[in-house]
Structure 1
Amino acid sequence: MNSAVSSSQELLAAFKNRRTYYGIAKEAVIPDERIEQIVRDVVLHTPSAFNSQSSRLVLLLGREHDKLWDLVRESLRKLVNDDEKFKSTEEKMNSFRGGYGTVLFWEEQSVVEQLQKSFESYKDRFPVWSEHASAMHQYAMWTALEAEGFGASLQHYNPIIDDEVRRTWNLPVSWHLVAQMPFGKPTSQPGEKTFQPVEERIRIFK
């Protein structure tokens, strides 16, 4: 087997092994320095339309990770007055808080706006392409973390938490929050993966 085939199989194996883990523990499986390097590599080497490089990532570890999920819980608590109804939400927040860290995915809107001014004919597409870039960063980060032995999931508590998160970590107003990715050492297995018939999703002509 040549090295190119071997490399593609390793990459596809990582894709297949990427799952949604809700059961995670506050335990590292690799050093923090390695996590930080993965974040840097994802930001540097994930593509974006027009090479816009509009994606921004924030890594929260330790107390900063805990602070985020306390903030999310309190933000949601203001919207739910019923203690019984809030119980399941609080349990979910505690499970995310119980992880080792969180990656926040943002998009820099000033980059998007500048591209809209520079390329008028594509004006309506740049916000969409910005979301595409963020999605690729999310997938790359998710796959890389799980390849190292972490479990992760993708959450979307924006826009409810956006302003408070910006204030807490002194982030630019021009940053638009897209998603949150809590991760940690897996404590339970992910749910069963189901598939729609692949024949209905692919067309091949040759």
Structure 2
Amino acid sequence: MSTFVNLVEKRRSIYVLGTDSQYSKKEITDRVREVVKQVPTAFNSQTTRVVVLFDEANDKFWNHIYDVQKDVLEGQMWDMMSGIITGSKNGIGTVLFFEDTDAVKEMPAQGVREEAYKQNNNANAQYAIWLALTEMGLGASLQHFNVGYEQGFDKGTKEMFNLPESYEMLAQMPFGSVEQEAGEKEHIDADVQVKVFDK
């Protein structure tokens, strides 16, 4: 099995995070920057914007998410997600994923194609950064709190870090040392997932 496939297999959603890492904040940030630079985008549009939070900024962000979501989520959903929110502060930091809507509008696409390309651009960055963090021995998970550009749900985050109004938040990736491994993962049949035809 190749090193790449091993890395893909090792990447899992890790929710119990710590701060133990051989890498500095600068080394992690440099890796994220290089990955984003190399990620493919539709028409080389480079619409994705990434923000990396550490220390006080990370705490401030997740406190904000907690304050908003406690009034949105209820019952079992809150019981489950509140633990993820509070646990996300225990790691090294968080990567916030945005699309610059001004740059998105410059793509030679409209309507459903524009939306698809935007989502694909961002997903490429999300997965590539997740693999990069995994390669560095760090765990992460992908979250989707306070997303909703049209409704203004991400406005508080943009104000907190003085980000452009054109930024649309699509996801968050808290990361840190792996303090609890992911459980066993079930897979559906490979022939259901991948069909092969030669005629």
TM over 0.5: yes
- 1:24-63 equivalent positions in 2, closer than 5 A: 24-63=17-56
Change (3 A) 1:87 1:127: closer
Deviation at 1:80, TM superposition (A): 5.5
Query: Which is worse superposed, 100-109 or 18-27?
Result: 18-27
CA RMSD of aligned residues (A): 2.0
Change (3 A) 1:200 1:173: same
For the pair shown, the structure with the greater C-alpha radius of gyration is 1
Equivalent residue, structure 1, for 2:110: 123
Equivalent residue, structure 2, for 1:106: 98
Which of the numbers 158, 171, 174 marks the counterpart of 2:146?
Answer: 158
Deviation at 1:85, TM superposition (A): 7.8
- 1:140-179 equivalent positions in 2, closer than 5 A: 140-159=128-147, 161-179=153-171
Unaligned runs of 5+ in 1: 1-7
Deviation at 1:158, TM superposition (A): 2.7
Q: How many residues align?
A: 193
Partner of 1:106: helix, strand, or coil? strand
Partner of 2:184: helix, strand, or coil? coil
- Paired with 1:79 and 1:9, the residues of 2 have a C-alpha distance of 44
Partner of 2:143: helix, strand, or coil? coil
Which of the numbers 73, 77, 87 marks the counterpart of 2:70?
Answer: 77
Equivalent residue, structure 2, for 1:191: 183
For 1:63, give the aligned amino acid. Answer: E
User: Which structure features the higher share of helix residues?
Assistant: 1
Structure 1 moving runs of 4+ over 6 Å: none
- Paired with 1:143 and 1:20, the residues of 2 have a C-alpha distance of 11
Change (3 A) 1:198 1:88: closer
Give % identity: 31
Unaligned runs of 5+ in 2: none
Deviation at 1:86, TM superposition (A): 4.8
- Paired with 1:97 and 1:75, the residues of 2 have a C-alpha distance of 16
Deviation at 1:87, TM superposition (A): 5.0
Partner of 2:175: helix, strand, or coil? strand
Deviation at 1:200, TM superposition (A): 1.4
- Paired with 2:73 and 2:37, the residues of 1 have a C-alpha distance of 40
Equivalent residue, structure 1, for 2:120: 132
- Paired with 2:30 and 2:101, the residues of 1 have a C-alpha distance of 25
Partner of 1:200: helix, strand, or coil? helix
- Paired with 1:75 and 1:27, the residues of 2 have a C-alpha distance of 29
